Structure 1
Amino acid sequence: MKNIKFQVAVAVVLAAFAGCLGALGAERWLGPKEPVGLHDFVHERLDLTADQEEELDLLEERYAIENARRELEVRRANATLAVAMDSEHEYGPEVGAAIDEVHTAMGELQKATVRHVFAMRSILDEEQQREFDRQVSLSLTGPPSE
């Protein structure tokens, strides 16, 4: 009886170990092959020249400032929506107006992002642009990221 319990315990430990190894292997060999973000893709996959890297760094600095400002506008609009919802406790005129503010702020953030994507594209050569365009298309139409 002791021998059977020991054998079962060893089998459970070995099965758990095999499961862990399988999960690690699947993550390593079957995990995502493409970088997560567009910036990572540009930096890691497009073999940029030193001049392109420098231009890209400048574009990213400018975009970071604008993006932070736009995100603050979205947060402010969300705060206005929260106040309106707390005030009206229904979908009333204040809530409707606040939702419009949120949508406007989000739209401006998206427009700024698209302008930045086109600015990045403009510093690439033709072959890099083709790869970039494919990645942008995949980013916009591919499966949702985790």
Structure 2
Amino acid sequence: MIAIVAFVAAMGGTYAGRTLFAPQKQTETELHALLHKELKLDAAQEVKIEAIEQRFATRRKSLELEMRAANAHLAEAIEAEHGYGPEVTAAIDHTHQVMGEMQKETLEHLFAMRAVLKPEQTAQFDRTVVKALTPDTSPPEKR
């Protein structure tokens, strides 16, 4: 029974971590499409944006690996303590720290790309960021 509870808790932690990262990936996809298809970047902007994207891809991969390790540590702590003890608390805190770092890095990435844009491009970029971060939560019949 204890093993089942530990397994379910570990899976819940993994699911929560993946769910929290999903909106960021969606935002990146929307912004990538906007940048490369709609904003009509010039050659110099393309080069700068590509360099920014490459740096962030490396950092994101590192943070994703750290998140997997944090989730594994959480699973181990749950299995060892069989309850909400100090190791579980520390593992949860570490998971939150990594999630926060991912969010900060993502925002720094967005602002770095925005800095490359011309004034007439930033308004559309800003609208896309805001839209991605504030999805329509109204009932389907009101959309």
Which bracket does the TM-score occupy, shorter chain normalised? Answer: 0.7 to 0.9
Alignment root-mean-square deviation, CA: 1.5
Counterpart of 1:37 in structure 2: which amino acid? Answer: E
Structure 2 CA distance for aligned equivalents of residues 138 and 92 of structure 1 = 40
**Structure 1 segments of 4 or more deviating over 6 A?**
none
User: Which residue number corresponds to residue 20 of structure 1?
Assistant: none
Partner residue of 1:84 out of 72, 77, 83: 77
Q: Which entry has the higher C-alpha Rg, 1 or 2?
A: 1
Give the direction of change, closer, same or farther, for the CA distance of 1:56–1:36 in structure 2 (3 Å limit). closer
Contact 2:30–2:128 (CA under 8 A) maintained in structure 1: no
Q: 1:2-26, CA deviations, whole angstroms, 9 ceiling, x for partnerless residues?
A: xxxxxxxxxxxxxxxxxxxxxxxxx
Task: Note the C-alpha offset of 1:117.
Answer: 0.2
Partner residue of 2:127 out of 112, 124, 134: 134
Partner residue of 1:100 out of 77, 88, 93: 93
With normalisation by structure 1, the TM-score equals 0.72
Task: Note the C-alpha offset of 1:143.
Answer: 3.2
With normalisation by structure 2, the TM-score equals 0.73
For structure 2, the 5+ residue unaligned runs are: 1-27, 138-143
Task: Note the C-alpha offset of 1:36.
Answer: 4.9
Task: Tell which has more relative contact order, 1 or 2 (C-alpha 8 A, sep 6+).
Answer: 2
Q: How many residues align?
A: 110
Structure 1 CA distance for aligned equivalents of residues 43 and 70 of structure 2 = 40
User: Which residue number corresponds to residue 55 of structure 1?
Assistant: 48
Counterpart of 2:49 in structure 1: which amino acid? Answer: L
Structure 1 CA distance for aligned equivalents of residues 113 and 92 of structure 2 = 32
What percent identity do the matched residue pairs reach?
48
For structure 1, the 5+ residue unaligned runs are: 1-34
Counterpart of 1:141 in structure 2: which amino acid? Answer: T
Structure 2 CA distance for aligned equivalents of residues 71 and 127 of structure 1 = 34
